[in-house]
Structure 1
Amino acid sequence: MDSIESAADVRYTDEKGLAEALRGADALFVYDFLSGAVPAAWHAADRIRWVHIASAGVDPVMFPELRDSEVILTNSRGVFDSSIAEYVLGVVIAFAKDLSRSLDLQRERRWQHRESERVAGRRALVVGTGPIGRAIARLLRAAGMPVSGMGRRARDDDPDFGTVYASADLVRVLPEFDYVIAVAPLTEQTKGLFDGAAFAAMKPTARFVNVGRGELVVTSDLVQALRDGRIAGAALDVFETEPLPSDHPLWTLPNVLVSPHMSGDFAGWRNTLVEVFADNFERWQTDLPLRNVVDKQLGYVPSGH
Structure 2
Amino acid sequence: MEAKHAKYQRLIEYCKTLPPMLTAVVHPCDPSSLAGAVEAAEMGLIAPILVGPRERIESVAAQAGILIAGYPLVDAPFSHAAAAAAVQLVREGKAEALMKGSLHTDELMSAVVSRDSGLRTARRISHCFVMDVPQHEQALIVTDAAINIAPSLEVKMDILQNAIELGHALRFEEVRVAILSAMETVNSKVPSTIEAAALCKMVDRHQVTGALVDGPLALDNAINLEAARIKQIESRVAGRANVLMVPDLESGNMLAKSLSFLAGADAAGVVLGARVPIILTSRADSVMTRLASCAVAALVAEDKRASGKVTG
**Interval containing the TM-score (normalised by the shorter chain):** 0.3 to 0.5
Structure ranking higher in helix proportion: 2
Q: Whose Rg is larger?
A: 1
TM-score by length of structure 1 reads 0.34
Q: Which has the higher contact order (CA 8 A, sep 6+)?
A: 2
TM-score w.r.t. the length of structure 2 is 0.33
